[in-house]
Amino acid sequence: PPPAADTFTSLSGPPAAAGPLDIERLAALLYFAAGVTKSKTYPGGAQVFFRAAPSTGALYQTEVYVIAGDVAGLGAGVYHFGPGDFSLRRLREGDFRGAAAGAAADEDMAARPALLVLTGIYWRNTWKYQARGYRHLFWDSGTLLAQLLAAARALDLPARLITGFVDAQLN
């Protein structure tokens, strides 16, 4: 296998390196990064769901949003990914890739077919872990980002990690 640095370098190809993005490849990316991949039913009917990326306490405080612009089979808009029912719920209609690119001062983002944005819901974890919940958010989000990069690589999708942006503009 290639060294890790080579793996991450190869993920940052040009926006059109892998051809057009369609809803099937986007669905595969979401499934292998943040989807429910297994369930177990216990005697009495209680069900436990397992996701592709683990989370501290199985509380899953990291949420995934898709900013779609040029995805075959999916209208331009901002979507929330629901792993429980494996759905995308449109929150805003229209192409917001340029707005996200402006918030990150990275115009290349506007040319990507879609952007995935991770957010955190602190209370999901802090009610149980209190002050440690802050660290857990970063651990969980890092695990999810690693899953996204690995799944993108497997699907031949160019991917880049952007961590700098103006919160108020992106919100």
Contacts 24+ apart (CB under 8 A), 84-92: 84/36, 84/49, 86/27, 86/30, 86/31, 86/35, 86/36, 91/65
- pTM > 0.85: no
Query: 43, exposed or middle or buried, with CB in 10 Å at 0-12, 13-18, 19+?
Result: exposed
Whether the predicted pLDDT of 117 surpasses 60: yes
| 71-72 and 21-22 beta bridge pairing | parallel
What's the rounded mean pLDDT across residues 23-45?
Answer: 94
